[in-house]
């Protein structure tokens, strides 16, 4: 009985303002672009509070068709995450991918608010050093980082925003995970009371004034696809939602048909995006 009484208290203390439980950084070097025959620049810049941050600007082997800015997910570091974009590099696009504070060679301690500022600083760096317009992508937790970083700043160079496998809010995903386990099911109300909704993607996405593309795999157990559907519904037009059957977490772009259409999406001119354009696609 004592354990049953104390468990909610422990869970409340665990979640109280503790969004850092969503971050799992490391400083291991998993691989480098050289392993794929790709050239890249080691980039260092500072966040708003002068924290030193690390990034890679990776180049295709052929003439560049454009640039994709990537805010990666919550685990490991950029040396693991860039691998999922090698196919895009081979297709002729540059990739700029950075590490939040506490990840890889970036200094500082990992935490949500600081990581959002890091994402804003990375966007500012690209705006200053890349002359052309570009696309911005946030994967998983990176989608939340990107949507928050875009708030309150001019983003004239961003053509469109891609949100891949992102959850609607911190309390939403925490409560959902607790609901799926019989021991924590009775306490799924705790995250909704203790986790702040200040940075929730479902609120931020409604204020984006860029074309939006949402991606999600149907077999995603980490962040179920209903989250992307809710974000899509909350987003202003123009917007698209691509649901990919048999794809797991952040695996939607491993599908060859999705890759083909994604490349076409990157080639579309701004005039294509009609003000009231809204479409959902399902890939087998």
Give the model confidence (pLDDT) of 31-63 as tens digits. Answer: 999 999 999 999 999 999 999 999 999 999 999
Pairing label, strands 40-46, 52-58: antiparallel
The number of angstroms, rounded, from the C-alpha of 146 to the middle of its chain's C-alpha atoms is: 6
Sign of the torsion angle spanned by Cα atoms 69, 72, 77, 82: negative
Least confident of 166-175, 259-268, 273-282: 166-175
For 137-148, what is the mean pLDDT?
Answer: 97
What are the distances in angstroms from CA 244 to CA 27, 138, 256? 32, 17, 11
Q: Would you place residue 177 in the very low, low, confident or very high pLDDT band (cuts 50, 70, 90)?
A: low
What are the distances in angstroms from CA 79 to CA 57, 82, 186? 12, 6, 39
The per-residue pLDDT for 29 is 97
pTM of the complete model? 0.87
pLDDT of 142 above 60: yes
What is the Cα–Cα distance from 58 to 78, expressed in whole angstroms?
12
By the 8 A CB rule, do 46 and 52 touch?
Answer: yes
Sheet order of strands, 278-283 included: 40-46, 52-58, 94-98, 67-71, 134-139, 158-164, 212-217, 239-244, 278-283
Burial class (CB in 10 A: 0-12, 13-18, 19+), 28: exposed
**More reliable by pLDDT, 148 or 192:** 148
Query: Residue 138 phi/psi, 5° resolution?
Result: -120, 125
Share of the chain above pLDDT 90, in %: 75
Give residues with Cβ within 8 angstroms of 204, minimum separation 6.
144, 147, 148, 150, 151
The per-residue pLDDT for 18 is 47
Enumerate the β-bridge partners of residue 217: 244
What is the Cα–Cα distance from 265 to 248, expressed in whole angstroms?
22
For 125-145, what is the mean pLDDT?
Answer: 97
- Each residue's pLDDT tens digit, 212-241: 999 999 999 999 999 999 999 999 999 999
Kindly give the interhelix angle for 112-129 and 141-149, rounded to the nearest 10 degrees. 60
Which structural domains are found in the chain, ordered by start? 2-283 (3.40.50.1820)
- Each residue's pLDDT tens digit, 56-86: 999 999 999 999 999 999 999 999 999 999 9
What is the Cα–Cα distance from 163 to 166, expressed in whole angstroms?
6
For 108-122, what is the mean pLDDT?
Answer: 96
């Amino acid at each position: 009985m004592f354990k049953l009484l104390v468990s909610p208290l422990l869970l409340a203390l665990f979640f109280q303002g503790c969004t850092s439980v969503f971050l799992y950084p490391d400083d291991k070097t998993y691989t480098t672009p050289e392993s794929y025959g790709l050239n890249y620049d080691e980039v260092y810049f500072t966040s708003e509070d002068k924290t030193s941050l690390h990034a890679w600007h990776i180049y295709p082997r052929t003439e560049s068709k454009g640039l994709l800015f990537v805010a990666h997910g919550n685990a490991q570091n950029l040396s693991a995450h860039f691998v999922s974009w090698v196919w895009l590099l081979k297709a002729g696009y540059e990739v700029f991918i950075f590490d939040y504070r506490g990840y890889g060679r970036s200094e500082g301690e990992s935490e949500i608010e600081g990581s959002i500022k890091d994402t804003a600083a990375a966007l500012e760096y690209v705006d200053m050093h890349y002359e052309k317009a570009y696309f911005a992508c946030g994967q998983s937790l990176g989608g939340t980082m990107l949507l928050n970083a875009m708030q309150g700043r001019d983003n004239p160079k961003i053509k469109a925003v891609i949100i891949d496998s992102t959850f609607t809010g911190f309390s939403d995903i925490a409560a959902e995970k607790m609901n799926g386990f019989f021991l924590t099911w009775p306490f799924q109300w705790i995250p909704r009371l203790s986790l702040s909704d200040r940075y929730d993607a479902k609120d931020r996405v409604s204020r984006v004034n860029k074309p939006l593309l949402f991606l999600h795999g149907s077999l995603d157990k980490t962040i179920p696809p209903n989250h992307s559907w809710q974000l899509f519904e909350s987003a202003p037009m123009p917007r698209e939602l691509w649901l990919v059957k048999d794809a797991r977490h952040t695996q939607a772009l491993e599908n060859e048909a999705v890759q083909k259409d994604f490349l076409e999406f990157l080639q579309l001119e701004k005039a294509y995006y009609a003000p009231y354009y809204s479409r959902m696609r399902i890939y087998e």
